[in-house]
Amino acid sequence: MKSISVLVLFLFVWPFSSAKTYHMVANSSVPAASGIISAKKGSPNRNTELDIKVTHLAPPSKLTPPANVYVLWIRPIGGDATNAGAIRVNKNLEGELKTVTTAKSCDIFITAEQSATVTSPEGPEVLQTRVDMG
């Protein structure tokens, strides 16, 4: 009986906790860069939880033109892009940002910006993908 309870619990939790993985496409200005997004529906409000990890992303000051910070943008399909936060790159050229959005389908992209507080994307796009949690 105990094994049946565990199986029922697993079957109930598994579809709601599994994450989808999305690979980001790099711009030619950062050809070695890569990004992976792990997206899942949160609980209890079913918002989309995002964990963005980037690797081999050059410091923004090394780009042409140079920038100060990378900014993650979320643009719901048919909507405007919103600043979801800065991604800081460490000495190993890696960075991570966790965030949440109410959008079920959206474009996610990273730009090189002069300030982490910009309200619309101004700098060059370095990585991008589309997330569909429909």
Q: Averaged over 63-85, what is the pLDDT? A: 96
DSSP state of 47: P
Inform me whether the pLDDT recorded for 125 exceeds 80: yes
Structure tokens, 22: 């999305």
Total Cβ atoms within 10 A of residue 89: 20
Instruction: Give the pLDDT confidence score for residue 11 in this predicted structure.
Output: 39
User: What average pLDDT does the segment 3-20 reach?
Assistant: 50
Q: Which tens digits make up the pLDDT trace of 78-99?
A: 999 999 999 999 999 999 999 9
Q: Are 63 and 98 in contact (CB under 8 A)?
A: no
Topology (CATH level 3) of domain 19-132 = Immunoglobulin-like (2.60.40)
Show Cβ contacts of residue 129 under 8 Å, excluding neighbours closer than 6 positions: 22, 23, 24, 25, 35, 37, 107, 108, 109
Ranking 17-26, 33-42, 70-79, 80-89 by mean pLDDT, the lowest is: 17-26
pLDDT at 55 over 90: yes
